[in-house]
Structures are given as structure tokens and as C-alpha cells.
Structure 1
Amino acid sequence: MKAAGRSVRARLRDRLAASDPGLLRLTAGLRTVGAIALTLAVLASLGFGITRLVAGAMAAMVATFAIRERQRGAQAVTLALGLPVALVSVSLGALLSERVVAGDVFFVALIFCAVYGRRFGDRGTALGLIGFQVYFLALFVGASASELPGLWAALSVAFASSALVRFAVVPASSAGVLERLRQAFRARLAQLVSAQLALLDAGPDEVDKALEDVREGNARLHETALMIQTRLEEGTPDESTARLVQRRIADAEIAAERLGLQLLSARSTERADTLTLHLPGAPAPEVRRLPGPDEATAVLRRDLLALRALVLRTGVMGTAVAQVRNRLLGYRDEENLPAASPAVQDVFRAVGETARAVMGLRIALDGPQDESDDTPTTARSREELDAEDAAIDAGEESEPEEPKGLQRPTTRAAVQVSVGSTLAIVGGELLSTDRWYWAVLTCWIVFINTASTGEILVKGYRRLLGTVFGVVAGIVLAGLVGGHTLTAFVLVLLLIFAMFYTAPLSYTLMSFFVTAMLGLLYTLLHTYSWEVLVLRVEETALGAACGVVAAALVLPVNTDRRTNELLVTVLERLAEVTEAAVAQLSGGPADELLDRARELDQALGDLRAATQPLTHPVTPLRARRTTARYVVALLETCAYHARSLAATAELLPTHPSIAADPRLRGAAGRTVGNIRAIAARVGDGEAGTAVETGPSIASLLGDDGAARYGRITDRVLRHLERLDEAVVGLARPLDVRVKAPER
């Protein structure tokens, strides 16, 4: 019973870790709710009234979510600086509340300073956010000069409560967050293996669902790998350890993705291509039973289950688990492969390579392992990993040059928000002289984490949609709560937790919970009415419209311009990774390939976010939506092949079965040239560049001496050929001329 209980708890823990990597959303929700609850408890015990309770709760929320630094010392400094900023802001809000013109002018100036402060990093962003939100708080509760002493006390309690919860009740160190992200990576890797197991057994009617689960599993694993990458510097003791973890995470990710592709190829009537995994709407390949004897299929099913258990296993490894690991690693030797078709044997080889990556991940994350049960194959794999670890060296990164003046994003955004807020104030005053600030709040929010007019339009639409449904929920909750203050505060805490827990997942959901919570706050302040909630929708729509108008007319960043700039960046990163990887595979000097690959991933993620206005379901430009999805999907395919080339090239210095092939450099020159030609055309529409086609890369290498390079070079060639095909495929949607080869 105890063992069963531990098993259930372990499964629940793994499921939670996979759904919320690093428990970042859970921590944010608990920390905010804890700070608000503690503030309310202290203020209520001191006999404060409802207005100050609401003010304290809102201040505690702001003091908690505004702090974004990862180091605890930096968080404490920002929180300490935030209190005087909040006290000054609420004081000015109360003193200027009766002076309409002066108050509006100061509010616009405060908004400009708050947005401009983002150029100074997380601390500038936090202090600007605190200043704006606390000024809004003063307007929301109708603060006056006579109430300032009580509000100062409420804000001081709120900031103290936020600090106590952050540093004592729900602490989160950089090392602890990174450790939880590692657990999430393991959990998501195990989920991906489960999806591959389902793909192994899927019938003809189930293959679409199984393939979609594999796609989603790959995407979620990649997302976690990127999250780990962003926290390695703060969460590891030194740069060498950070690079080691980065290397092992990348190895495991690429090995797992390759295993899925080999399995799909074995079940397909023709060899599967990553285009099938990435292109939207691409039909699933025609599947069949695994060729060969049923015994091989049964063994493969057993080994996938064993691989999943090996991924989840942490701590000391027992004899039974060591035997399983040894068996899986044995598939790296040809003599240990089961009797099966070549395609199925490729799947077993991929299982062996994934097991090797899992062992490397275990050593990097859990430290040295017991070697007493090692077989010769396992010992050789361990020696390879040790040699790779010793070869890892730290490199220096150069800081990119930033734009200046109005070209700087923070300056441009500050001007745009100021203009939009001025329009929102004027329009909001016409709608309501008491609630006009809701329009300003919406205008402010739609500019956060957006960089183009299209992004602002989509965010405004989502906020309005969430607000409309939130109004309905607020009406229902206000009717249920009635005059029960305690019940209302409990529901407010639940809605705040839901708001922070869902914020990274859906902006519409977050807006829904915010609006429903505000309905309860209005009930507590005895200002609730149907008219107030309808006015909330009107002010939200007005604020979103003002934001879009300001973004479109004042220093506009057109969505096409924004996406083209990011597309050029992606193509440049793709060319750099490909060229550096091929150079190393050709016998050139070692380079920081994984760093380059992660820069490519980050650039692709930025492009994917920027194309949301073009790919949104409600966009009327259907052709552009299809084109944008197709281009991003092809770039994801290119990025996969570039990552695989980089990972293989990283093995060259230490892997005995991989030999450099000098012929690769010339064979891949056309692909790199085509990538740069497309980038030149996208960056300058008048550029007369063209994409070249020609013989396959394999034919360019010729046959002389090809046998000595073995199966690893075959795998490199497949990636190069698929990358070459995908790059040529980018030419048509991006209006780049394709030049046929000369006869």
C-alpha cells in the first residue's frame, strides 16, 4: 500500500511538473494569493475598513507580480524601492483627484515614464509598473487627501506581506526553479515516449491523433528546453556546468525527436519526412504494421516502456534498472540488434541513442553514477560522455548593438502609449467622469509585450472578449455573494489565483478572471450595478481602440515590417548554424554550435509570436494566414535539421564512430547561399537574388570512399538534403526567384 501510494504521488508530481514546467505558474499564483491573504488578515485585525482592505489587496498583488528579477537580492532591492514609489504615486493620485487637468497631465507623464523605464531592465520595468498601478489604485478606490495616512499604512502592510511571502512562505531560488524545470523536462520527455508508444500501436483510424500527440510532445519538450536555457546562468554554480546541462538537454531533445521520426518511417509506406510533422494540415502518411516478425514489435514495445521508466527514474539506480539501461544501450552495436527489417532496426538504434542521451542527462543532473553493473557497451558510452564533458569550454558572447532615439522600442512604445492614453482619457471622460481610467488601463495593457500594430490589435480583441464574458460571470457571482464580505474575499482570492495560473496560457482567460474579480470588488465597495459592468466593457473597447489608433498613426511598426525583420533574423541564424555545423563536420575547428542553435530557436519563437496577427482565426486575409503558417512551418523544419546537424557535429571530437568528411563543405555551400539569398530578398524587396537548385547533395559527394563514413554520415546527408529541399520550398511563398541549374 505504501509503495502504491508513493507511485500515485510520483505520477501526480510528474503530471504537474509536465503541465507547469518549473511550477512557475503555480508559484506565481500561490505567492500572489498568499500576499493578498496575509495583507487582508493584518489589515482586518487592525480594524481597517473595506476601502483600505481593497486598496491593500490590490497593492499586495502589484507588489508581487511586478517583481521579475531572478536573483533574491535583486528582488529585495526592487521591492524596497517600490514602496516609496507606491507611496508617492498614491499620494499624487489622491491630491490630484480633484484637479482634473493637472491630474490627467500627470497621469500621461507617469505613463510615459513607466514605459520608458523598461529600457533599464527588470527593475525599471517593475518600478514603472508599480507607479502606474498604484496611481490607478488611488483612482479606483476614490482616494482623497484626508485618507492618505490610512492608505500609506495599507500599502506598507501590503509590501511587507509581499516580501514575507516571497522570501519566507513561498521562496523560489534560481537553483530551485532550474531543478523543477529539469524535472519538468524529464516528465515531458517521458510523455513524448508515451506518445511514441501510442504511435507504435495506433491503427489506421488512430494514426492522426497519435501523430498529433507526438507533434505536441515534441513542441512541449522543446519549450521546456528553451525555458531551461534562459535560467542556466543564474541556476548553476559556474559556466562550465551550465554548458554541460545545456548540451545534455539538447542531446536528449534531438534523440527523442529522431526516435519518433524513425518510428514513423518504419510504419510508413515511404520514408517519413519532418515536413509531415511540421506543415499545417499535412496529411498523415499511410501507415502499415511494422514490417518483420511480431516478436520484434513486441520487443520494441517493451523497450519503449523501459525507456520511459529510465527517463523518470532518479536517484540511485538499482540492479534491475541498470540491466534495462544496459540492454537499451546495447542497440548501439550492430550485433545486438533484433532480427527485423532495416527500418525497424533503425528504430532500435534510435532507442539506443536516446538511452545514451538519457544516461548523459542523468549524469549531468544527478552526478556520478554507480558503474559496477556496466556492460562493455555501457562503459564505452560512458567514456564517450566523459570525453564530451571534458571538451566543453566556455565561450564569450558579444552584446548586440541596440537602436537609439525613437528607433529604440521602449522610447517608441512610451510615445505611443502616451498618445493612446491621452485619447483614452478624453474618450473615457465622455463615457464616464467617474470610471474613465478603465480605458487608460486597457490602453496601457495592450502595449505590454507587443511590438507591432497587429499584435496590439489581437491583444485588444482578446482582452475585450475576456471582459465581455467576465462581466457575465461578475453579475452571477455578485448575485450569489450578496452582502457576505468574507465569501466575496475568498472568491476574489480564487479568481486571482486563476488569473495568474492561466496568464501564460491564455490572455482571454486572464481577462475573464480579472473582470469577474472586479465585479466582486465593486460589490465589496458597494458600487456594483449592471450599468457599471456594462461601462467596463465600453471603456475596455475604447481603450483597445485608442491603443490600436496610436500604434497605427504614431511611429507605427507595421506587422509586415516587424515579421520581415524577424524573418531575416531567423534566416541569418539558420545560415550561421548550418555553415558552422557543416564546417565542423568537414573537419574545421570547433564552434559554439549549441549556443548558435538556441539563438536560432529564440529567433524562431519571436517570429512565431509576431505572426499571430496574421495567423489568427478571425483574420480576414485567408491567403496571408495560409502563407504565414506555411513559412513558419517550413522554418521549423529547417530549424530541426540545423539542430540535428549541430548536435552531430558536437560529437565529432570525442565520438569514435564519426569521422569528418571534407566533401561536405562544398556540398552544403548551395544551401547556405540560398538561405542568404532569401534573407537578402526579404530584407530588401528590390534585391534581385535567386535560389539555385541542382543535383542532390548525396550526388555531389560522389561514391569514392563513401563507405568509410558509415551510417552517421548517411544521417547527416539526410538532414542536409531535407534542409536543402525546405530552403528551396521557402522561395515560392516569399517571392524569391528559383533559378534552374544550367545544363
Structure 2
Amino acid sequence: MTAAGRNGKGENGIAMAAARRTAKGVWDRFSASDPGLLRLMAGLRTVGAILLALAVLASFGTSVNHLVAGAMTAMVATFAIQEKEVRGQAITLLLGVPVALAAISLGSLLNSRVIAGDVFFVLLIFGAVYSRRFGDRGTALGLIGFQVYFVSLFVSAEVSALPGLFLTLAVAFACSAIVRFAVVPETPERTLRRLREAFRARLAQLVAHQIALLDAGADDVDAVLDDLRRSTARLHEAALMIQGRLEEGTRDAAAAALLQRRVADAEIAAERLGVLLLNARSAERVDTLTLHLPNASAPMPPRARIAEDAGTALRRDLAALHLLVVRLVPDDRGTALPYVRNRLLGYREEKGLPKGSPALQDCFRAVGEAARAILGLRLAVDGAQDEEYDTPEAARSREEFAAEEISIAGEAAEAEEEDERTGLRRPTTRAAVQVAVGSALAIVGGEFLSTQRWYWAVLTCWVVFLNTASTGEIVVKGYRRLVGTVLGVVAGVALAGAVGNHTWIAFGLVLLCVFGMFFTAPLSYAMMSFFVTAMLGLLYTLLNTYSLDVLVLRVEETALGAACGIIAAVLVLPVRTSHRTDEELGTVLARLRDVVSAAVAQLSGGPPVDLVDLARDLDTALDDLRSSTKPLTHPIAPLRARRQTARYVVALLETCAYHARSLAATAELVPSSKSVAADARLALAGRRITHNIDLIAAHVREEESDGTIESGASIAAMLDSGRHEVLRTGSVAFRVLRHLQRLDEGIVGLARPLGVPLAAREEKAAGAAKGA
């Protein structure tokens, strides 16, 4: 072969490698934006079911009315079922067939009986919402019953057409099953594997933003900080999604617990690295709160405080860490990656630690801890690899992981607590009564607007109650639906005019709208409503009932339905947003206390407990609190001071949760690690923190309590035994004390915005914590 030929081949190889890297980068960004590809799969599955149903029905020469009914039924049969196990999905889909047939039959029979039909519709709505108390299956069957009855109203079904409609529904359910189980199959194991990939992609994005923080100038630091906050929150979101799929997606409880711990270790290590980088770059000490509070600024000097040589080394090691994350796949072989990993792991043992300030050296140690966490994650997912290249530091890390894995085996999962509330105090019963009353109002008002399209008001009233738990959430959801509907009307007018009488072009655009509905639903309810309304304009075109007046009526009915839902939420068994947030806040404080007390007890020499499960409960409770405060932090919320307080409280709790998780992760090492030893003096610090949490929780529950918030001396001063030991900043003991100190400051800082009385000394401490 000539030199030119070899050069050409080499250039082609380089170009192909570059193209593969580019494609991998694009896929990583998409995977990170849609963890587990859940939105993509939902959209493809629904569109596939509709497309297959239309193809089968069209081959029978079915009328347009039945094509529309089949498409809508296939959509409902696909999106209503949310169970994770394949067997459970099949059972629910099978049970949905008689429910759908009964709903379409009753809709046809009652179509001409106005009063009886309206009464039954209200009863059906009550039953559909009440069935949510029976879990995913009850929710799915209630949704199928309601939506198929709605389909009968939409296509004006008559008794004479029932045989054809029965066949149409049977075909729609069969097509939904084929697409779900054969064309676009989804198993818990596959979903968990995709979620792990999304976690890896988001971890890589976080490390990339940390590198950007190191290079950012004073003018760009605010934008970089926003990116850093966003990527930190997205990584936490991916970790929570993995936790929700562990039981079904792993082979046994021990494997689930191991993966959960490794994901938590990686998340904590990455977040800690971000805090230390921010601290090294800042003009003064930066609190972890900076990573959680929107628009919080960090005091950056005009020039970076990091020396040029040290900055170059840190940038190099962060790039190496990013490489380890990007290559976190089982088919990577060779000596390059193990060499990079081993060098970074050496920082944990002070090996090769560059010279610099204590804050800078903390960054290098944090890089080493992050490399260890990535190694642990890879071992949990792919098993032991590359052991022949291990240095002593890497071998020690593997030994620690093996010891932890042995301690995890055999741990039993705790049983889920059941909701003990009964009667009208039960959330599902209360919501069923509210939506039934709101729907009755919507029927009456809708009849005045239109005797034919009144059901749009009922549908809006129904949907604003779905997945809401307070009056504020219903108001925000109603507002978003109205905005999306108005924009969708504009799009519907344009699409209907462009389509004209071209039936299959209209169906193709309907499919695009359906995909848009399901792809954007978790991101923006307004966008979902936009695609729904645009789709309806096309469906009306297919049914030859389209006009501008019909779409304007759609807006009016939507506004009426939202108003009726809000009226029912405010007047019938109301749940105030403040009451809802107080409940969730009390749960978060209780879970925080559980984690802190158990972690400190284990760090003090107590018996080992399952701290990972406790930390997971805390994360879940905090996520619920974050959702419940969205009406307070929404831009349309009128009380600006309350909005800022809610954001500050949530940010403080996120900071406390981070330090609690870090304590739990360190405490988990006590039984198996040679480098982490218990210290009985920590129990004193733990008592002060839990005492303060108890006082704040009692105030939130509006209970009388004795005592005051305790603060004053630092945690380190409290633990001074007279030996005047100087703790090395990189040591585990120093890290434990730092987390305890930040946790203590965070809890005291919560007292002021929550209105917990403070003595003069505590007032000063709380103000200092807030300033940090």
C-alpha cells in the first residue's frame, strides 16, 4: 500500500472517530435532557399505537368518525397505563377493555337523555378520581372509563353504531398492546439502564460546568453559577428517578441497595467538588447554600485566586475526571483510563498532591473522592474490571467497596407506610368530591355556552385536579391550561386552513401533535395544552365540524372549566397551599432528623442501620415539598416576599439535606473502613442539632414546645476534649465536623424565615448563617 493510501485511510479513520465523538456528544445531551428516554418512549409508544390502529381500521374501510374514535381510544389505552411491571401492564390493559366497552355503551345510550347523561357523567367523574386510591391500576381504569365516555360524546356515538364502535375499540386496545409489548417494549430493567446512562450524562455535564467555573471571568461567573445550579439539580433529579426504579429494575434487594449507594456516593462527591471549587475561586468562604438558592451571588475577585500552575493542574485533573465519566461504559479497555483513574485516586492518600492553599488542596482531594465514586459506580454496574492495572490506592478502594458490599447483603427493605386518613380526610375522596362538584358547575355553565360542546368545560375541570393537592396548584394548572389553549387555537386555525380536505395529511399532523403532547407533558403543562388544542382543531376538520367559532368556543369552555375547578377547590373541602406546604415541611424535618440522628449515632459508635434508605426518604420528602411550593414561587404569585421566603427555605433545606446525606455516606463507612473511626464525642453535636429540628418541627405543627434554639459555640469547640488536636483539612474527621457545622448553621438559619422565636444570641447566629 502506498504512503498516500495509508494517509488517506488514516484521515478517514480520524474523521470517523471525530464523527462518532460528535454523535456520542449529541446523544449524551439528549439522554441527559430526557432521563431514561421516558418522554421519548411515551411519545413513540402512543404515536405507534395510533398509527397502527389507523392502518388496521382503514384497511376495513372504516368511516372517519370511527377512525377518530379508534385513534383517541388507542391514545388513552396507551398513556393511561403507568405500571412498571410488564405483567401488571398486561393485566390492566386487559381489564381496560370491558371498562371501555361499558363506557362507550353508556355514552351512546345516554347521548339523547340530557339530565340522566349529565348525572351519570358526574358520577363517573367521581368514581374515576376516587379510584386513584387503588394505585396505578385504579388510576388507569378510572382514566380509561372517563376518556372513552368522553370519546362517545366527541364523536356523537349512537346505539345503532355500537357494533362498529365495539370493533373499533377492540382494534385500538389490540394495537396498543402490540406496540407496548412488541414494537416499543419497555421493561423495568431497560428503563433503569437508560436512567443510569442519563445519570452518567448529567454527571459529565456537571463536571463540564465545574471546569467552566474554574475558567470563568468575574463578568461570566453569574451565568456559570446558574448552569452549575441547574446541572446539580438535574443530577439530583436523575438520582431520584433511579431510586424510584431500583426495586423493579434489579435482580434482588442487595443489588438495588448497592446501586443506590453508589449513585448517592457519586452525587455527593460531585456536589462537594462544586462547593470546594467555588470556595477556592471566591474572595471569601462560600456556603453550600449558594448552589441551591437561585440568583445567590458568590464574591469573586477580579482575578482568579488560584495560581497559574495550580490552576493548570486542577483544570487538567478536572478534564481527566470528565473523561472517566464520559467513558463510564463497559467496552472501554486499555491502560490509559486506569492510569488516569489511579493518579486521581492517589489524591485521597495525599499522593502527588500539588502545592497550594488549603482550599485548593481540598479541591484536589475532592477530585480523588469523585474518582473513587466513579470507580464504585462502575463496579456496581459492570463488575470488577482493569484490576491488573491497580495501584495500591486503587486496590484499597476496591477492598473498601467489597467490604461495603458484604455489609449491604441481607439488609431488608422497610415496609411502606400506609395513609391512615379515612373518609373525607383521605386525599382521593376529597379530590373526588371536589371534581364532582366542579364538573356539575361546568356542565351547567357549559350548557349555556353550547349544548353540543359543553363537555370541554368538564374535561378542563377534570384535568386541573389531576396530580394536584392544593388550591394553589389547581389555580396554577388552570392558568397554564388556559394559556396553552389560547395559543393552540391560533395554531389550530393555521393548521386547519393548511390541511383543507386532505384526510391523511390531517392525521399525520395529529400524530405529530400527539407526540408533542407526551414529549412536553412532564416539562410544561402549557405546551401540552397547546398541542392538545392544535390536535382538536385538526380532529374537528376531519369530522367536518371545524370553524373559527368552534375553536373560540374551546377557549371559552376551557376558561369556564378552569374557573369551576378553582371555585370547587376553594369552597369544597379546600386544602390551602400554606397547609399543604406545612405538612410537607413537617415531613421533611422529620426525615432530616431521622437521617441526622442515625448518622451521628453510627459515627459515635452506635449499631449500624440502613442510612441509605433514610436518606432516600429525605430526598423524596424534599422533592414533594419542592413541588408543593411551586404555586408560591410561580411568577403569577402575587406575594413577592412570600415567594422569596419559600425559595430561601427550600434552598436551606436542600443544603441541609446535602450535608445530612454526606454524613450518612461517611457513617456508612464506619463498619467496614479502616480510615473512618467512630468518635463518641459526636453524640453531643447530634443532640443539639436534633433538638433544634424538633423545636422548628413543633412550631410548624403549631404545637407548644419548651426550650429555645441552641447555637453559639462551634461544633469543633463543643468537641474539644482538651487535647487541642489539629485536624488535617483533608481528613475524614475534619469533613464530618464541617458537615455538622454547616448543618447546625442551616438549621438555625431556618428558624428566622419560619418565625421560630430566637434568643438574642441565636438571632445573631441566624443572621450570620443567612449572610453566608
Say if 1:290 and 1:344, in contact at 8 Å, map to a contact too: no
- Greater shift, 179-188 or 693-702, is seen at 693-702
Give, in angstroms, the shift of residue 280 of structure 1. 3.1
Which of 67, 74, 81 matches 1:60? 74
- Greater shift, 545-554 or 167-176, is seen at 545-554
1:195 aligns with 2:195: no
Tell me the alpha carbon deviations over residues 107-153 of structure 1, each in whole angstroms, 9 at most, x when there is no partner: 11111111111111111110000000000000001111111111111
Q: In structure 1, what is the Cα distance between the partners aligned to 2:256 and 2:626?
A: 27
Q: In structure 2, what is the Cα distance between the partners aligned to 1:704 and 1:400?
A: 46
Residue equivalent to 1:651: 669
1:263 aligns with 2:277: yes
- Greater shift, 281-290 or 717-726, is seen at 281-290
Amino acid at match of 2:179: V
Give, in angstroms, the shift of residue 332 of structure 1. 1.1
Task: Give the TM-score normalised by the residue count of structure 2.
Answer: 0.94
Tell me the alpha carbon deviations over residues 634-687 of structure 1, each in whole angstroms, 9 at most, x when there is no partner: 111111111111111111122222221111111231111111101001101655
Which of 338, 346, 359 matches 1:343? 359
Say if 2:283 and 2:301, in contact at 8 Å, map to a contact too: yes
Which of 221, 225, 235 matches 1:211? 225
Say if 1:581 and 1:645, in contact at 8 Å, map to a contact too: yes
Give, in angstroms, the shift of residue 706 of structure 1. 6.0
1:363 aligns with 2:383: no
Aligned length: 742
Tell me the alpha carbon deviations over residues 294-329 of structure 1, each in whole angstroms, 9 at most, x when there is no partner: 222212111111111111211143111111111111
Counterparts of 1:607-646 in structure 2, within 5 Å, are 607-646=625-664
1:20 aligns with 2:34: yes
Counterparts of 1:504-653 in structure 2, within 5 Å, are 504-653=522-671
Which of 397, 411, 414 matches 2:429? 411
- Greater shift, 327-336 or 448-457, is seen at 327-336
Which of 129, 143, 149 matches 1:135? 149
Say if 1:267 and 1:289, in contact at 8 Å, map to a contact too: no
Which of 680, 702, 721 matches 2:698? 680
Give, in angstroms, the shift of residue 333 of structure 1. 1.7
Q: In structure 1, what is the Cα distance between the partners aligned to 2:707 and 2:163?
A: 69
Residue equivalent to 1:400: 417
Give, in angstroms, the shift of residue 335 of structure 1. 3.4
Residue equivalent to 2:4: none
Give, in angstroms, the shift of residue 351 of structure 1. 0.5
Give, in angstroms, the shift of residue 693 of structure 1. 2.4
Counterparts of 1:191-590 in structure 2, within 5 Å, are 191-287=205-301, 289=303, 291=305, 293-313=307-327, 314-315=329-330, 316-393=332-409, 394-402=411-419, 403-590=421-608
Amino acid at match of 1:247: R
Give, in angstroms, the shift of residue 431 of structure 1. 0.9
Q: In structure 2, what is the Cα distance between the partners aligned to 1:413 and 1:681?
A: 28
Give, in angstroms, the shift of residue 41 of structure 1. 0.7
Q: In structure 2, what is the Cα distance between the partners aligned to 1:366 and 1:425?
A: 57
Q: In structure 1, what is the Cα distance between the partners aligned to 2:60 and 2:614?
A: 57
Give, in angstroms, the shift of residue 292 of structure 1. 5.5
Residue equivalent to 2:756: 736
Give, in angstroms, the shift of residue 708 of structure 1. 8.1
Tell me the alpha carbon deviations over residues 602-641 of structure 1, each in whole angstroms, 9 at most, x when there is no partner: 1111111111111111111122112111111111111111
Q: In structure 2, what is the Cα distance between the partners aligned to 1:465 and 1:342?
A: 53
Tell me the alpha carbon deviations over residues 39-87 of structure 1, each in whole angstroms, 9 at most, x when there is no partner: 1111111101111110000000000000111111110111011011101
Amino acid at match of 1:458: V
Q: In structure 1, what is the Cα distance between the partners aligned to 2:532 and 2:707?
A: 51
Give, in angstroms, the shift of residue 401 of structure 1. 3.9
Give, in angstroms, the shift of residue 370 of structure 1. 2.4
Unaligned runs of 5+ in 2: 1-14, 763-772
Amino acid at match of 2:286: A
Please state whether the residue corresponding to 2:638 is helix, strand or coil: coil
Q: In structure 2, what is the Cα distance between the partners aligned to 1:500 and 1:723?
A: 40
Q: In structure 2, what is the Cα distance between the partners aligned to 1:180 and 1:595?
A: 22
Provide the identity percentage. 67
Amino acid at match of 1:404: T
Give, in angstroms, the shift of residue 287 of structure 1. 3.8
Say if 1:577 and 1:642, in contact at 8 Å, map to a contact too: yes
Give, in angstroms, the shift of residue 740 of structure 1. 4.4
Q: In structure 2, what is the Cα distance between the partners aligned to 1:689 and 1:487?
A: 72
Q: In structure 2, what is the Cα distance between the partners aligned to 1:381 and 1:30?
A: 43
Task: Give the TM-score normalised by the residue count of structure 1.
Answer: 0.98
Amino acid at match of 1:346: D
1:714 aligns with 2:725: no
- Greater shift, 285-294 or 415-424, is seen at 285-294
Please state whether the residue corresponding to 1:337 is helix, strand or coil: coil
Amino acid at match of 2:584: L
Give, in angstroms, the shift of residue 709 of structure 1. 6.5
Amino acid at match of 2:448: L
Residue equivalent to 1:171: 185
Amino acid at match of 1:677: L
Residue equivalent to 1:184: 198
Tell me the alpha carbon deviations over residues 711-742 of structure 1, each in whole angstroms, 9 at most, x when there is no partner: 21111111111111111111111111013469
Tell me the alpha carbon deviations over residues 341-363 of structure 1, each in whole angstroms, 9 at most, x when there is no partner: 22211111100000000000000
Question: Residues 741 and 4 (structure 1 numbering): CA distance in 2 closer, same or farther, change over 3 Å?
Answer: closer
Question: Residues 47 and 334 (structure 1 numbering): CA distance in 2 closer, same or farther, change over 3 Å?
Answer: same
1:667 aligns with 2:681: no
Please state whether the residue corresponding to 1:438 is helix, strand or coil: helix
Please state whether the residue corresponding to 2:167 is helix, strand or coil: helix
Q: In structure 2, what is the Cα distance between the partners aligned to 1:454 and 1:237?
A: 41
Please state whether the residue corresponding to 2:81 is helix, strand or coil: coil
Residue equivalent to 2:7: none
- Greater shift, 46-55 or 264-273, is seen at 264-273
Q: In structure 1, what is the Cα distance between the partners aligned to 2:680 and 2:708?
A: 27
Question: Residues 288 and 355 (structure 1 numbering): CA distance in 2 closer, same or farther, change over 3 Å?
Answer: farther
Please state whether the residue corresponding to 1:591 is helix, strand or coil: coil
Say if 1:694 and 1:740, in contact at 8 Å, map to a contact too: no
Say if 2:247 and 2:256, in contact at 8 Å, map to a contact too: yes
Q: In structure 2, what is the Cα distance between the partners aligned to 1:298 and 1:146?
A: 79
Please state whether the residue corresponding to 1:36 is helix, strand or coil: helix
Q: In structure 1, what is the Cα distance between the partners aligned to 2:342 and 2:507?
A: 57
Q: In structure 2, what is the Cα distance between the partners aligned to 1:355 and 1:583?
A: 28
Tell me the alpha carbon deviations over residues 240-293 of structure 1, each in whole angstroms, 9 at most, x when there is no partner: 000000000000000001111111111112222112222233222224655464
Which of 743, 754, 772 matches 1:723? 743
Please state whether the residue corresponding to 1:738 is helix, strand or coil: coil
Residue equivalent to 2:8: none
Q: In structure 2, what is the Cα distance between the partners aligned to 1:442 and 1:243?
A: 42
Say if 2:492 and 2:535, in contact at 8 Å, map to a contact too: yes
Please state whether the residue corresponding to 2:217 is helix, strand or coil: coil
Say if 1:268 and 1:287, in contact at 8 Å, map to a contact too: yes
Amino acid at match of 1:428: G
Q: In structure 1, what is the Cα distance between the partners aligned to 2:538 and 2:556?
A: 19
Q: In structure 2, what is the Cα distance between the partners aligned to 1:687 and 1:390?
A: 43
Amino acid at match of 1:73: R
Q: In structure 1, what is the Cα distance between the partners aligned to 2:625 and 2:640?
A: 19
Please state whether the residue corresponding to 1:654 is helix, strand or coil: coil
Say if 1:661 and 1:709, in contact at 8 Å, map to a contact too: no
Please state whether the residue corresponding to 1:474 is helix, strand or coil: helix
